[in-house]
Structure 1
Amino acid sequence: MTTLAPAGPAAPASAAVAVPSRSRRVPPPAMVWVGLGIVAVFVVVAGLAPAVAPYDPLAQNVTDALAAPSWQHLLGTDELGRDVLSRLIWAARIDLLIGFLGAALPAVVGTVLGALAGYFGGWVDTLVMRVSDLVQAFPSYILVIALVFVLGAGPVSILVSMTLVSWVAYVRLMRTEMLRVRESDYIAAAKVSGFSRQRVLWRHAFPNSIGQSLVYLPSDIVAATLGLAALSFLGLGIQPPTPEWGAMIAEGQPYIREQWWLATVPGLVIVVFGLGLSMIGEGVEAWGRE
C-alpha cells in the first residue's frame, strides 16, 4: 500500500509524496510463487483444452465403458465410455471461470458498498449494514441453493446467486478498514487541501483500505469453486453432458468400489486447485505483515 505524507503543516497537496510500504521492498514468500504456479498450470491447461485434451469430452463409446486407466485412456472412461482425462481438462474451463467470477463479482459489489458505508457513515452505513445482516441471517449454502432453484440451473443463475450471498464478507472487511483509514493523517491532509469527498475516498482512502479484501479473495475463489461443485453434485449446477468436476464426482459415486478413480480424481483436482489458491492467500497475508 502507499500512503500520502504531507511535507509540512502548510504544504500544498502537490508536495505530498508517496511512501512505499515495507512489503513492497520485501520479496513475496516462496509460498506465493508455488501457489501462483499451481493456479497458472490450471489456467493454462483450461485455456489450451482443445489442444491438450486427447479426446472429445462428449464423445461416447459404450463398448469401452468403465475401462480402467491405460495408455489409451490415462484415467480410464466413465459409464458412457467418455475419456475421464479429457472431461477433467474441459471441466477446468467452466469451474475456473465460475470460481473466479463467483468471487470477483461479490468482491466488487462488497468492497464498493463497504467503502461507502465506512467512509460516509450515517444512513448509508446503517442501510448497508442492516441489509448485510439480513443476508447473513440465512445459511449461505441454503440461500444459494434456494436462489438457484428459483432462478434455474445454469452458469448465470449460479453467478447471480453467489454474488447476492457472498458480498457481505467483503462489506465487513472493507468497512472495518475504511473506518480506520479515514481517521489517518494523510486523509485529513487531503481534506484540508480542498479535495472533494469523492476524490479523497477513491484516490486516497480506497486504495489503502482494500488490502484485506485482496487477501480474502483467493479463499473466496476456493469457496466459489467448492460451491459450484456442490451444486453440480446435487444436480442444481452445470447440467450434463457439460463436464464439471462436481458433476463428475456425482457420476462416479455409484462405482466408487470398483472404479474408484471416477470420483476420486476429480476430488483431488479440486483439492490441488484449492491448495494453490490457499497458498497464495496465506502467503500474501504473511507478506503484508513483514
Structure 2
Amino acid sequence: MAVATSIIRCSMRSFFQSYHSFTSIAALLVFPVSASVLLSQALTPSSSILHTISSSLGLLFRAANFPASDFFSLVNVKLSETIFTSICTLPFTLTFLLLAKASIIHIFRECRHSRVAPPRLSEFLPLYRPLLLTHLFNNFLILSTNAAIFSFLFLAFNAVDMLHLSSSNSLAAVCTVGALFYCVVIADTMVVCNMAVVVSAMEDCSGYRAVLKASVLMKGQFATALALALPTNLGMAAVESLFRFRVTNPYRLSGKIDPSAIWEVFSIVYIYSLFIVLEVIVSCIFYKACQAQCYSNLDVGPDNQRELEPEEKVALQA
C-alpha cells in the first residue's frame, strides 16, 4: 500500500504539472469515448441487442450444465453489458482512445512532464500502430481467459455431478470457489493488459511481446497493480452512477431532457474523461516504478524522481 500511495501521489503531481496538456487531451480525444460509454450504458435496459446477448449466454450456461445460481446470473448480466458496451464504443475506442493513450504515453516517454501544450499529432502518431495491435491482442486474451475459466468451471461442475456430490452445499462451495477464481484471474489479466498497452508504446513492441514483457515487469507487483486500479475504477463507477441519477433516470421519467441539464451532461462526461486520463497516467508511473525494481533506477523526470526516491524505492526493495 505504501508503494501504491506513493505512485498515486506522484501521478497526481504529474497531472497538475502538465494540467493544460492532460485536460486538453481529455476534452479533445477522450471526450467522445466517454460520451459513447455513458450513452451506451444508458441504452442497455431497453436494447434488444443486449437481451439477445443475455439470452445467448443463458442458453450457453444451461447447455454447459451450470447450476442456476446468483453468481452465474450476475456473470450473465455483467458479461452482456460489457459486450454490448464494447460493441457500441468500438469505433471510438480504436481511434480516439488509442490516440489519447498514445499522446499521454508520449509525454512520459519523452520525460516532458511540464509541457504547456499537448504534443503534436505527428509526434505521437507512430505509437498508434503498436497500441492498436496490443489492444486487439488484449481483447483476444481477455476473451480466451473467460473461455478458459468457463471451461474449468464446466469440468468442475460435471466432476461434482459424476461423483454424486451435487447437493446444495457442494454446489454452493463450488460456486464460491469459482467466483473467487474468476475474479482473481480476470483482475490479474486486466492489469497485465493495461500494463501491456504502456509497454507497447514505451518499448516499441506489440501484441504478445508486450503482454509477456508486462508480465515479467510486474512480477511480484500484482497486489500493487490492483490497488492502483481501484481508485480510478471506483471514480469512473461513481461518475456512471451520477450520470444515471442525473441524466438517464429523469429522461426515462419525463421522456425529454431539460435544456438546463445539458451543461451538466457535458460536465459529467468531462469528469469521466479525466478519470480515464488519470488511469493512463497511473499506468505510466507504475511502469516507471516497475523499471526501478528491475533495473535499480527510475527513468522519470527530475521532479517525479525526487517525489519517488525517498519512499517508493525503499518500499520496492522491501
TM-score with structure 2 setting the length: 0.26
